[in-house]
């Protein structure tokens, strides 16, 4: 993959990095750079709230459900508010798709970008202090600015992303993103209030021995999936499943591995969402030299039919995803 052309030293601040690499963007006019800054800003606010979650009354369920019928946690709603507010004020995004809202949100901006976001994935882990994450995809709007948002502005394939990334609120907080020129990771330095470059030009190992899948659901896996899991065991692979997609993805990105959420009896198309979970991670995986499929074909070429559609998800080291596909 073409790395970011200007090799910048570890410790470079995110703003400086974005500015130095801005001319790589197909639309190098500062808007996408500002959008990335707006997302980073919102994540700093969410990070502060996540880190205080045990001390202020923002833990636990809201008593409401999201579009998928999943219990909304208080921090889910808070995070959604923070990102929506930052993107509205930033003015570069015209529309937002979120796990937390039924239909798309028209931000009434003259912005040229559409954002798909899972504001806080894995939020049920907040109460037990397990890492959680924000996942985002950035698309160009297709219809002219000033016109009403069209369906084809919203339901775009993953290959049409202009940028994507995640924030991992973990033992340290990291922002990892791509604009199609490689993957770079930034660690949040809270004393500075800055993300600084810590993982330049990230590449996922071509092969690995870590498999991440919820084996508690294995009775309802298809036979090929069961056979692949058995193959992993026969080859003494290590099972690592945190139950927080961003954390599992990030570990596999660094060490090599495969994350699988297949079709199950409960979720016939898998549990994960194409638009605001899988597309972003698939873009990152491919940019880092890995692969992402629905078991058969590339995630990034799936044409979405619905904002909240789900897809089986196989993502990680190239050779591991290919091996899993050979069983399917």
Residues that bind ligand P6P (CB under 6 A): 121-122, 124, 214, 243-245, 248, 271
Least Å from the CB of residue 111 to ligand P6P:
28
Question: Interior CA angle at 264 toward 322 and 258, to 5°?
Answer: 30
| Both tokens assigned to 192 | 């500075």
CB nearer ligand P6P, residue 193 or residue 243: 243
What residues have CB less than 8 Å from 285, skipping those under 6 apart?
A: 204, 249, 253, 291, 292, 315, 316
317 neighbors 209 (Cβ within 8 angstroms) = no
Q: How many other C-beta atoms can be found within 10 angstroms of the C-beta atom of residue 302?
A: 20
Q: Distance between CA atoms of 203 and 173, rounded to whole angstroms?
A: 19
Least Å from the CB of residue 216 to ligand P6P:
7
Q: What sign has the CA pseudo-torsion 284, 288, 291, 297?
A: positive
CB nearer ligand P6P, residue 49 or residue 76: 76
| Both tokens assigned to 241 | 């499943």
197 neighbors 9 (Cβ within 8 angstroms) = yes
β-pair partners for 114: 95, 139
Least Å from the CB of residue 90 to ligand P6P:
26
Q: What is the CA radius of gyration of the chain?
A: 19
| Both tokens assigned to 25 | 């963007």
Least Å from the CB of residue 323 to ligand P6P:
21
CB nearer ligand P6P, residue 20 or residue 124: 124
CB nearer ligand P6P, residue 32 or residue 120: 120
Least Å from the CB of residue 245 to ligand P6P:
3
Least Å from the CB of residue 145 to ligand P6P:
34
CB nearer ligand P6P, residue 13 or residue 130: 130
CB nearer ligand P6P, residue 166 or residue 195: 166
Instruction: Compute φ and ψ for 121, nearest 5 degrees.
Output: -85, 140
């Amino acid at each position: 993959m073409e790395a970011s052309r200007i090799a910048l030293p570890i410790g470079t601040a995110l703003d400086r990095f974005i500015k130095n690499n801005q001319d790589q963007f197909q639309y190098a006019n500062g808007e996408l750079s500002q959008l990335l800054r707006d997302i980073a800003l919102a994540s700093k606010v969410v990070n502060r709230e996540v880190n205080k979650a045990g001390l202020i009354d923002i833990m636990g369920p809201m008593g409401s459900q999201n579009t998928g019928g999943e219990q909304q946690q208080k921090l889910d709603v808070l995070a959604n508010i923070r990102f929506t507010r930052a993107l509205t004020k930033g003015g570069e995004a015209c529309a937002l798709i979120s796990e937390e809202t039924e239909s798309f949100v028209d931000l009434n901006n003259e912005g040229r970008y559409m954002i798909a976001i899972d504001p806080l994935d894995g939020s049920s882990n907040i109460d037990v202090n397990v890492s959680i994450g924000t996942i985002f995809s950035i698309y160009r709007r297709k219809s002219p600015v000033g016109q009403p948002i069209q369906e084809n502005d919203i339901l775009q394939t993953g290959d049409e992303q202009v940028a994507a990334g995640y924030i991992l609120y973990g033992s340290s907080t990291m922002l990892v993103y791509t604009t199609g020129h490689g993957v770079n990771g930034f660690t949040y330095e809270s004393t500075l209030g800055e993300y600084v470059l810590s993982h330049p030009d990230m590449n996922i190992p071509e092969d690995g021995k870590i498999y991440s899948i919820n084996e508690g659901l294995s009775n309802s896996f298809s036979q090929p999936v069961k056979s692949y899991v058995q193959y992993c065991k026969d080859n003494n692979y290590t099972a690592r499943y945190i139950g927080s997609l961003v954390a599992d993805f990030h570990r596999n990105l660094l060490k090599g591995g495969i994350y699988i959420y297949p079709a199950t009896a409960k979720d016939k198309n898998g549990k994960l969402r194409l638009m605001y979970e899988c597309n972003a991670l698939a873009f990152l995986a491919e940019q880092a030299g890995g692969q992402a499929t629905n078991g058969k074909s590339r995630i990034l070429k799936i044409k979405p039919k619905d904002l909240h559609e789900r897809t089986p998800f196989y993502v990680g080291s190239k050779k591991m995803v290919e091996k899993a596909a050979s069983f399917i």
